[in-house]
Amino acid sequence: MIRLFLGLIAFLSVSIGGLFHSFSGDSPLDEIAFENDAVVLEADPMPPESAVQGSVPTPDLPSEEVKPTAPAPTPVQVLVEKPVDQPKEEKEGDAGLSIESRILRFGFRTPPAPRSIDTIVLHSSYNALGGDVYSVGRTIEEYEEYGVGAHYLIDRSGTVLRLVEEANIAYHAGSSKMPDGRKNVNDFSIGIEIIATEESGYTDRQYAAVNALIADIKGRHKIKSVVGHGDIAPGRKTDPWKFDWKKLK
């Protein structure tokens, strides 16, 4: 009896297990079907060539490789400056006359009103302080020692130095009197000193400079007389020493 009961229980267990297994869908066929479905789902079918060509336009490719062309360089304008004309050396008056300024601090005064100039007085002087008798610097030092001055000084080479402006009254004539009776010749005259000793005379360049300077002055003033220091201070002055008046133009 007991043996029959145990057999019944065993039969029921097997039947129920098979029935359960069939309802669960875990049969080998189902597994294979599932795996095939998975394969079908994972692999997309290749689209036909016409579909690919119609949906994705194929770009036209050039037959040869075309290299990019570099932009043409912008032309550079080169500005060529014309040479600037150099200023020429300024010369006053007659061609060949060059006047250098060496204005004195002494030996003149400024008149209260513009003065009228009609006379040129020629002088001669040299360095008596020792050393080179023709030294321009030492000669000017001698002027300062005596408190005198002139408008112009011509050295042995013919160089003309401006010592006093023509508008000012230079102390070059001292006590003096013109042949026409006018006194204080400094007031209406221009004084020109020429470096020379009492025995040396003058160089050709000095004569040329004197003539050029007188011509230059005449271009600015109405000069009536060109005289020597000795002509307006007789008995007191004798310069210009050994001056050849025939060489004066």
Q: Which residues are catalytic?
A: 193
Q: Is residue 199 part of a domain?
A: yes
Residues 111-165 pLDDT 10s: 999 999 999 999 999 999 999 999 999 999 999 999 999 999 999 999 999 999 9
Q: Is residue 219 part of a domain?
A: yes
Q: Is residue 87 part of a domain?
A: no
Count of domains in the chain?
Answer: 1
Q: Is residue 51 part of a domain?
A: no
Q: For the residues of 53-113, what is the DSSP string, one character each?
A: HHHSPPPPPPSSPPPPPPPPPPPPPPP-PPPPPPPPPP--SSTT--EEE---SSSEE--SS
Q: What is the pLDDT along the chain (249 residues), one digit of tens a residue?
A: 445 444 555 444 544 444 344 434 444 434 333 333 333 334 444 444 443 344 344 444 444 444 555 555 554 443 333 333 333 333 444 457 989 999 999 999 999 999 999 999 999 999 999 999 999 999 999 999 999 999 999 999 999 999 999 999 999 999 999 999 999 999 999 999 999 999 999 999 999 999 999 999 999 999 999 999 999 999 999 999 999 999 998
Q: Is residue 236 part of a domain?
A: yes
Burial profile 64-78: b = 16 or more Cβ within 10 angstroms, e = fewer: eeeeeeeeeeeeeee
Domain holding 237: CATH number? 3.40.80.10
Residues 155-181 pLDDT 10s: 999 999 999 999 999 999 999 999 999
Give the residue numbers spanning the domain of 160: 99-247
Q: Is residue 114 part of a domain?
A: yes
